[in-house]
């Protein structure tokens, strides 16, 4: 069994560590190893989920450096609390997203509760080319997403940016699918309204 | 109704995700078409947002950093557990109490306003414990650059102030004070810089590094305003800490201003990155464009947006040019062809746009002359744009194409008249080929060896003291580590497409040549904002109205004095076509 686990860990090092490329069973094994204190296994999990967590954070804070900082803190917190995943290895991904969400909220708690940073041209300065391009081409849309109520924004980012299905979103948000569908509908309606409003103003 | 429609919407979205068209979804629900269509369009629009992701390089390096941090913290946690008598939190509390008392004590004696800027590169709880339990090697690696005016320094153990000199090395305990109207920069061995505005007083309290890795830099700001560019190190948990008698601010690699008023009030504002300010047990976070104020003995005010600049100069230019802007005080922001990034102008930014253009933003420019230096990484023509805007209106806009050979460049002089933060007028007054004298006054501080070497000065080294490192050619052109990866200019990393450093010069040659050509090209003025005033000559055959005497003379070796501070190695750029002047403008 140990050999099998080691092989899995080694294989992940050599292949693209994207969640979509990794089997759920492999993730579970890595989580089990991490719970036992295996730092390397946790490093593999980091490689698998880094992109997703970074992206999830980035589209909320919209600043590269801040997103990197928060992402790192998310994984540190995850490591420190990894024992709480015992018996819940299957939901590691959702658990990680929840930490990220809470961390983002923590970071900006000193501002209005759960109201995250709004886009500002200066905040782009440290962004990568793709990020800058994203901001330039989709600024109005991203601004509108940023102004959504937190729950609606979370659904939109998880579904359309992160590409998660409703079941995964259900696990992350701890809400039933019906509630998620309603949140999605309201978010889309609100976005449509804002974008139309912006178009009319122009 | 809501539930029913939300289900229809969700099902339609799932079908879209699977590759169906909006029309086919609408056909399925003709009764809901009117309500459904705009929402599906919106969903499709959101799905079109490009997905950002971290680079392979960042992923690799940050993973190693994370694992190193976890291991170190685990070891330290075990050490803390095995210590007898004092538990982890007791010790922390004790250390904190001691620190607090020392600050309060100092305040009672002589510090109406004190700000300690602790650049604690190995920090967090574990970092603090580590710091308390070990004795890192001490070094005095801070270089003073006097940009303009006069600066007084008070050496440790001395009560007398003496006139500071440009390029001198400052030791721990040295106080630096800028006179009215004077500007100076302190450059630390790991690359961080602190720009001192007029009438600012600062003391170097601690500079530590261990095994060539920085561990802490501690400054105490007594009065005035500073603009800090803190290099984020690769060290796990690396961040910085600002302390005052009433507050602690944790700073990540970032750009931020710190202002200490005579009343004891401290103001911190972030331009890039994230700063955390703690006072009286309350903590506020300052992401980019947020500020807070801490009165002595009070909690930090809730973060407020930094007021939007009333005016701004935005300069962009294409490859193959890189460049910088120097303001009337002598402060510069930009990048050298070597990839060396510097930022001395408060609230300025320099970055690379999606179109691979360098952009420099100068917020609320002052009256006086700004000098834009363009340096060419290779022979070619670079489109440039210089725009000034006030209160949302364009005040001036120059655009055109400038060409030069590799390792040559241009100096563009921009006269600005500003009042109350607004640009009244702006004009490109002249442009000339970049000569031996460069406008920037910057110090490169390569981490390796912990020595700072002056690589560019406006004047010769007559002001330098014996303490100044006399130039290390092998250190020249090392790019800074702006992408937090710890790769300090490793040659093999240059030009890798995955590099996230937005200011990095990818695979560009070093800045090794300053042409001697002093010929005057056409002015770049374009008052009508129509674009090129110059003749749209063939790019390969630049016009040369004023530079005729300089043709074919771009290759003279520059100062070969290996001991000098000037970065003027032999000009290696040899134009391919000797009939072609080294510069052209269209």
**Interface-testing mutation among A17, A41, A53, A129, with chain B (most B C-beta atoms within 10 A):** A129
Q: Please give the Cα distance from B376 to A4 (Å, whole number).
A: 55
Contact A117, A62 (CB under 8 A): yes
pLDDT for B385 beyond 80: yes
Tokens of B331: 């402060």
CB distance from A152 to chain B under 8 Å?
A: no
Q: Can you tell me the mean pLDDT for B242-255?
A: 64
The answer to whether A128 contacts B52, with C-beta atoms less than 8 Å apart, is yes
The answer to whether A108 contacts B285, with C-beta atoms less than 8 Å apart, is yes
The answer to whether B271 contacts A122, with C-beta atoms less than 8 Å apart, is yes
Of B9, B69, B71, the CB nearest to A185: B9
Q: Can you tell me the mean pLDDT for B190-199?
A: 87
List A residues 47-86 in contact with B (Cβ-Cβ < 8 A): 47, 50-51, 54-55, 58-59, 61, 63-66, 68-69, 72, 75-76, 79
Q: Please give the Cα distance from B294 to B302 (Å, whole number).
A: 10
Q: How far is A126 from chain B (nearest CA, A)?
A: 6
Whole-number pLDDT of residue B127: 32
DSSP 3-state percent helix, strand, coil across chain B (nearest 5): 20, 35, 45
Whole-number pLDDT of residue B361: 92
Whole-number pLDDT of residue B460: 32
Residue with the bigger pLDDT between A110 and B123: it is A110
Cis omega (within 30 of 0) for bond into B208: no
How many A-B residue pairs are in contact by the CB < 8 A criterion? Answer: 183
pLDDT for B543 beyond 50: no
pLDDT in tens, chain A (202 residues): 444 434 333 333 223 344 556 778 888 999 999 998 888 889 889 989 999 999 999 888 887 878 888 898 899 889 989 988 888 878 899 999 999 998 888 776 645 443 444 433 333 334 445 455 555 557 788 888 888 888 899 999 999 988 888 888 998 998 888 999 999 999 999 999 988 875 554 4
Residues 6+ apart with CB under 8 A from B422: B310, B311, B390, B391
List, in order of start, the domains of chain A with CATH numbers. 1-116 (1.10.1740.10), 120-202 (1.10.10.10)
Closest CA to A53 of A10, A95, A113: A95
CB distance from A122 to chain B under 8 Å?
A: yes
For chain B, give the percent of residues with pLDDT over 70.
58
- Summarised one tens digit per residue, pLDDT across range B39-82 is 999 998 888 888 888 877 677 777 877 877 777 777 666 666 55
Of B39, B303, B484, the CB nearest to A111: B303
Q: Please give the Cα distance from B173 to B106 (Å, whole number).
A: 15
The answer to whether A188 contacts B502, with C-beta atoms less than 8 Å apart, is no
Residue B172: pLDDT band by 50, 70, 90 thresholds? confident
What pTM did the predictor assign? 0.46
- Summarised one tens digit per residue, pLDDT across range A59-84 is 888 878 788 888 988 998 899 899 88
Whole-number pLDDT of residue B471: 31
Closest CA to B562 of B462, B481, B447, B453: B453
Spell out which residues of chain A touch residue B67, defining contact as CB-CB under 8 Å. Answer: 39-40, 42-43, 46
Contact B511, B567 (CB under 8 A): yes
Residue B319: pLDDT band by 50, 70, 90 thresholds? confident
CB distance from A119 to chain B under 8 Å?
A: no
Collapsing DSSP to helix, strand or coil, B423 comes out as: strand
Q: How far is B521 from chain A (nearest CA, A)?
A: 32
**Interface-testing mutation among B42, B125, B278, B350, with chain A (most A C-beta atoms within 10 A):** B42
List A residues 180-199 in contact with B (Cβ-Cβ < 8 A): 181-182, 184-185, 188-189, 191-192, 195
Interface pTM (ipTM) of the complex? 0.76
In whole numbers, what is the pLDDT of chain B averaged over residues? Answer: 66
Contact B237, B69 (CB under 8 A): yes
Residue B440: pLDDT band by 50, 70, 90 thresholds? confident
Spell out which residues of chain A touch residue B3, defining contact as CB-CB under 8 Å. Answer: 178, 181-182
pLDDT for B368 beyond 90: yes
Whole-number pLDDT of residue B411: 87
The answer to whether B354 contacts A132, with C-beta atoms less than 8 Å apart, is yes
The answer to whether A110 contacts B254, with C-beta atoms less than 8 Å apart, is no
Residue of A nearest to B10 (CA): A181
Burial of A121 (0-12, 13-18, 19+ CB in 10 A): middle
pLDDT for B179 beyond 90: yes
Residue of B nearest to A136 (CA): B354
The answer to whether A182 contacts B283, with C-beta atoms less than 8 Å apart, is no
**Interface-testing mutation among A181, A190, A198, with chain B (most B C-beta atoms within 10 A):** A181
């Amino acid at each position: 069994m140990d050999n099998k686990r080691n092989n899995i860990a080694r294989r992940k090092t050599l292949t693209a560590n994207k969640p979509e490329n990794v089997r759920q069973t492999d993730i579970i094994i890595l989580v089990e190893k991490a719970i036992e204190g295996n730092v390397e296994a946790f490093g593999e999990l980091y490689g698998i989920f880094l992109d997703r967590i970074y992206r999830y954070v980035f589209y909320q804070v919209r600043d590269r450096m801040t997103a990197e900082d928060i992402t790192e803190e998310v994984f540190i917190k995850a490591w420190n609390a990894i024992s709480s995943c015992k018996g819940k290895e299957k939901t590691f991904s959702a658990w990680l997203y929840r930490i990220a969400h809470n961390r983002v909220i923590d970071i900006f708690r000193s501002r209005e509760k759960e109201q995250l940073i709004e886009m500002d041209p200066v905040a782009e300065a440290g962004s990568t080319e793709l990020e800058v391009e994203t901001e330039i081409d989709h600024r109005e849309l991203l601004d509108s997403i940023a102004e959504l109520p937190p729950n609606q924004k979370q659904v939109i980012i998880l579904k359309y940016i992160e590409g998660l299905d409703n079941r995964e979103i259900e696990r992350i948000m701890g809400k039933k699918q019906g509630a998620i569908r309603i949140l999605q509908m309201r978010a889309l309606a609100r976005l449509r309204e804002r974008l139309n409003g912006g178009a009319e103003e122009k | 109704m809501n539930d029913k429609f939300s289900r229809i919407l969700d099902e339609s979205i799932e079908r879209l995700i699977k590759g169906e068209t909006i029309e086919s979804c609408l056909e399925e629900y003709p009764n809901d078409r009117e309500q459904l269509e705009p929402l599906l369009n919106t969903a499709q629009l959101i799905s079109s947002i490009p997905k950002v992701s971290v680079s392979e390089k960042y992923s690799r390096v940050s993973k190693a950093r994370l694992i190193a941090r976890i291991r170190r913290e685990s070891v330290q946690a075990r050490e803390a557990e095995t210590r007898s008598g004092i538990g982890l939190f007791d010790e922390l509390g004790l250390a904190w109490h001691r620190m607090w008392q020392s600050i309060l004590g100092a305040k009672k004696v002589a510090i109406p306003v004190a700000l300690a800027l602790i650049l604690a590169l190995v920090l967090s709880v574990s970092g603090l414990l580590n710091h308390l339990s070990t004795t890192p090697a001490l070094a005095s690696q801070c270089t003073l650059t006097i940009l303009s005016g006069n600066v007084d320094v008070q050496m440790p153990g001395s009560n007398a102030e003496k006139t500071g000199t440009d390029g001198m090395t400052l030791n721990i305990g040295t106080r630096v004070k800028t006179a009215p109207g004077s500007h100076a920069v302190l450059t630390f061995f790991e690359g961080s810089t602190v720009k001192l505005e007029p009438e600012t007083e600062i003391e170097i309290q601690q500079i530590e590094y261990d095994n060539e890795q920085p561990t802490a830099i501690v400054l105490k700001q007594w009065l005035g305003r500073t603009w800090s560019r803190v290099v984020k190190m690769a060290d796990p948990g690396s961040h910085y800490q600002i302390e005052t008698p009433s507050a602690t601010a944790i700073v990540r690699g970032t750009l931020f201003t710190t202002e200490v008023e005579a009343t004891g009030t401290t103001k911190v504002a972030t331009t890039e990155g994230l700063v955390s300010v703690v006072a009286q047990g309350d903590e506020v976070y300052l992401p980019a464009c947020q500020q807070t104020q801490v009165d002595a003995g009070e909690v930090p005010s809730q973060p407020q947006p930094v007021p939007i600049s009333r005016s701004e100069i935005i300069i962009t230019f294409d490859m193959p040019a890189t460049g910088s802007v120097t303001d009337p005080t002598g402060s510069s922001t930009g990048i050298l062809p070597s990839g060396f990034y510097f930022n001395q102008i408060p609230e300025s930014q320099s970055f690379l746009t999606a179109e691979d253009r360098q952009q420099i933003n100068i917020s609320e420019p002052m009256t006086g002359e700004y000098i834009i230096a363009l340096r060419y990484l290779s022979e070619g023509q670079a489109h440039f744009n210089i725009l000034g805007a006030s209160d949302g209106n364009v005040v001036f806009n120059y655009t055109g194409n400038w060409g030069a050979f590799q390792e040559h460049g241009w100096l563009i002089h921009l006269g600005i008249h500003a009042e109350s933060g607004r640009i009244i007028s702006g004009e490109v007054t002249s442009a000339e080929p970049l000569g031996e004298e460069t406008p920037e006054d910057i110090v490169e501080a390569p981490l390796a060896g912990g020595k700072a070497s002056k690589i560019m000065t406006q004047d010769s080294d007559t002001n330098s003291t014996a303490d100044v490192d006399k130039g290390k050619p092998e250190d020249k052109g090392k790019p800074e580590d702006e992408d937090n990866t710890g790769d300090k200019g490793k040659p093999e990393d240059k030009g890798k497409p995955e590099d996230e450093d937005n200011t990095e010069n990818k695979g560009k040659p070093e800045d090794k040549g300053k042409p001697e050509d002093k010929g005057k090209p056409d002015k770049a003025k374009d008052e009508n904002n129509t674009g090129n005033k110059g003749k749209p000559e063939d790019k390969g055959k630049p016009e040369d109205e004023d530079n005729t005497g300089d043709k074919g003379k771009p290759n003279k070796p520059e100062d070969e004095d290996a001991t000098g501070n000037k970065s003027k190695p032999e000009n290696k750029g040899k134009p391919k076509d000797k009939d072609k002047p080294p510069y052209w403008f269209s």
